[in-house]
Amino acid sequence: MVVFGAIFASIYLFVAQFHKVQGNSMVPTLQSGDYLITEKLSFRFRDPKSGETIVLKNPRDESQDFIKRIIAVPGDTIKILKNTVYLNDQPLPESYLPPGTLTRSGAFLTEGLFIKVASNQYFVFGDNREHSSDSREWGPVTKEEIVGRAFFRYFPLQAMDLLTDK
């Protein structure tokens, strides 16, 4: 039994973790009440990529986890102008959002302000832009704040799927 506990603890700490989606910040991609497996290994061997759905520590309360999408990576420039996200001077194609989705600026990423993403930092947004606390409000997150990559939705069963950077 002790060996099983040690194996489970090792997997939980270093390989994978279960998360329940709480709130609507990632709608339509994820719904409140969805259950996910977050894998923790990828980012030990490579940097996170734009478009990936991640789990991160809430920058304002590290006892909570957030689920967001990476919008910009180190070296990128990001700006919001007239409710459109610009990445490296181009409108960001966001096929995972419903047509006509508007993105408002926030306290950190204000209207028209270009920000260059620094080394080891990432800009993350919720897919439900009207109901998401994200980098627009509190700025970029570091790689160390990222728990892992949201990998697989296992519940509800009818929505079971691999989560890709759609």
Catalytic residues, by residue number, are 25, 68
Selection from 16, 29, 130 nearest residue 83 by Cα? 130
| Token pair listed for 126 | 């919720």
Q: Which of 83, 90, 89, 85 is nearest to 70 (CA)?
A: 85
CB 53 within 8 A of CB 73: no
